[in-house]
Homo-oligomer: A and B are copies of this chain.
Amino acid sequence: MKKANTIIDALSIDCLIFGFKNSELDILLVQHGEGISKGKWALPGGWIKYSEGMDEAASRILKALTGVSNIYLEQLRAFGRVDRYPTKRVITIAYYALVKPEDYTLQAGFTAADAKWFKVNDVPLLPYDHPSILKQALEYLKHKLRHEPIGFNLLPKKFTLLQLQELYEALLNKKLDKPNFRRKLMNMNLLVPCQEKQTDVSHRAASLYRFDKKIYDKLAERGFTFEL
Contacts and interface: CB of A to CB of B under 8 A. Distances in A.
Interface of A: 1-2, 8, 10-11, 48, 50-54, 75-78, 80-82, 87-89, 91, 93, 147
Nearest to A143: B147
B1 A88 contact: yes
Contacts of A53: 80-82
B10 A89 contact: no
Copies of this chain present: 2
A8, A53, A54, A89: most-surrounded residue (chain B CB, <10 A): A89
Contacts of A48: 80, 91
Contacts of A76: 77
A53 B93 CA distance: 14
A1 B82 CA distance: 12
B1 A54 contact: no
A80 B10 CA distance: 14
15 contacts: A1-B88, A2-B88, A8-B10, A8-B89, A8-B91, A10-B10, A10-B50, A50-B89, A51-B89, A53-B82, A54-B78, A54-B80, A75-B78, A76-B77, A78-B78
Nearest to A227: B227
A57 to B, nearest CB: 9
Contacts of A51: 82, 89
A29 to B, nearest CB: 23
A78 B81 CA distance: 15
A8 to B, nearest CB: 5
A176 to B, nearest CB: 14
B89 A2 contact: yes
